[in-house]
């Protein structure tokens, strides 16, 4: 049995209220972290939050599958599958920077149907979308127009990683447009894009749990996504306001 957007919304609002309290408490104290096999960082809080979310999902939707960042997939060939990133932006989290969030997505036969990002440090704001609409704390987001490159904000998560990739030239050309460039990345970059405060976000080396919950939000808020990955699996993307998609496509293709 699939679920309605209303059901997704109600459930996510409830569980992220719970996880947000745990994350905020942990953010105030010193964060021990260790490296995973792929060299990405993880903290005790990532594990605690993902366990909490898994428990709540299985309690409410016992037949559904779950695919998360920190533990093994469970029943993930199910028509209804949840995708979890307990703390997207763990590097920000461990360095005392409040630009991180909890991602929860819902896949219907593999297709990203609903998505949410919750920001514990930002008054608990919750961004939620279903590919056709996007809501910030229950208010429908209206698309904001692109103004000019001089006033634009261009984001990414990690410039060093881009420098070592085959996209270095494209990224350099994007920067030549003279927008303001910042590494206010991870899910916070997508938040700024959806709310109209940023214009472009370029991201590479994404994992399914980083991007699948974000896609229905981006699309719901009218943001265009250019998939640059070789396997069309959204591991490398440029997301931007629709007016500038032709320029972005010209730069990146």
Looking at the Cβ atoms of 109 and 161, the one nearer to a second copy is 161
- In angstroms, the Cα distances linking 226 to 143, 231, 240 are 18, 13, 8
Q: How far is the CB of 220 from a second copy (least distance, A)?
A: 19
218 is written with which tokens? 């981006």
Classify 115 in phi/psi space as left (phi over 0), alpha (psi -120 to 50) or beta. beta
Stretch that binds a second copy, among 2-10, 51-59, 92-100, 218-226 (CB under 8 A): 92-100
Distance CA 165, CA 228 (A): 13
Among 153, 206, 226, 245, the residue binding a second copy under the rule CB under 8 A is: 153
Q: How far is the CB of 122 from a second copy (least distance, A)?
A: 7
Among 93, 184, 190, 202, the residue binding a second copy under the rule CB under 8 A is: 184
Beta-carbon contacts of 161 under 8 Å, excluding residues fewer than 6 positions away, are 204, 205
Name the 3-class secondary structure at 41.
strand
97 binds a second copy (CB under 8 A): yes
Q: How far is the CB of 98 from a second copy (least distance, A)?
A: 6
Binding residues for a second copy, rule CB under 8 A, total: 28
Distance spanning both ends of the chain, measured CA to CA:
40
Q: How far is the CB of 235 from a second copy (least distance, A)?
A: 20
Q: How far is the CB of 81 from a second copy (least distance, A)?
A: 32
Distance CA 81, CA 2 (A): 9
116 is written with which tokens? 């949410």
Q: How far is the CB of 90 from a second copy (least distance, A)?
A: 12
Pairing type for strands 134-136 and 224-227 reads unpaired
Beta bridge partners of 129: 115, 134
Among 2, 25, 96, 110, the residue binding a second copy under the rule CB under 8 A is: 96
Q: How far is the CB of 96 from a second copy (least distance, A)?
A: 5
How many whole angstroms from its chain centre is CA 190?
6
Among 66, 99, 127, 174, the residue binding a second copy under the rule CB under 8 A is: 99
Looking at the Cβ atoms of 14 and 25, the one nearer to a second copy is 25
Stretch that binds a second copy, among 48-56, 69-77, 192-200, 245-253 (CB under 8 A): 192-200
182 is written with which tokens? 């910042």
188 binds a second copy (CB under 8 A): yes
**Contact predicate 152/193, CB 8 Å:** no
195 binds a second copy (CB under 8 A): yes
205 binds a second copy (CB under 8 A): no
Q: How many CA atoms does the CB half-sphere of 247 hold within 13 Å? A: 16
18 is written with which tokens? 């719970």
What are the residues binding a second copy (CB under 8 A)?
28, 91, 95-99, 121-123, 153, 158-160, 163, 175, 178, 180-184, 188, 191-192, 195, 197-198
């Amino acid at each position: 049995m699939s679920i309605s957007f209303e059901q997704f919304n109600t459930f996510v609002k409830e569980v992220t209220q719970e996880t947000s309290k745990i994350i905020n408490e942990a953010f105030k104290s010193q964060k021990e972290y260790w490296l995973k096999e792929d060299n990405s960082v993880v903290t005790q809080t990532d594990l605690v939050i993902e366990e909490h979310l898994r428990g709540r999902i299985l309690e409410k939707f016992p037949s559904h599958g779950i695919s998360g960042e920190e533990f093994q997939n469970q029943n993930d060939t199910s028509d209804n599958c949840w995708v979890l990133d307990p703390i997207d932006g763990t590097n920000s989290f461990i360095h005392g920077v409040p630009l991180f969030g909890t991602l929860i997505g819902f896949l219907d036969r593999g297709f990203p149907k609903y998505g949410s990002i919750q920001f514990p440090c930002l008054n608990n704001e919750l961004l939620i979308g279903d590919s056709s609409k996007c809501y910030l704390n229950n208010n429908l987001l209206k698309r904001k127009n692109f103004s000019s490159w001089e006033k634009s904000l261009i984001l990414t998560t990690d410039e060093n990683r881009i420098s070592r990739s085959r996209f270095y030239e494209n990224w350099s050309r994007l920067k030549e447009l003279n927008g303001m460039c910042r590494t206010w990345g991870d899910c916070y970059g997508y938040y700024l894009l959806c709310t109209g405060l940023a214009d472009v976000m370029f991201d590479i080396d994404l994992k399914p749990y980083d991007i699948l919950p974000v896609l229905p939000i981006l699309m719901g808020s009218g943001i265009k996504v250019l998939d640059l990955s070789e396997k069309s699996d959204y591991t490398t993307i440029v997301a931007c306001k629709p007016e500038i998609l032709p320029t972005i496509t010209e730069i990146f293709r």
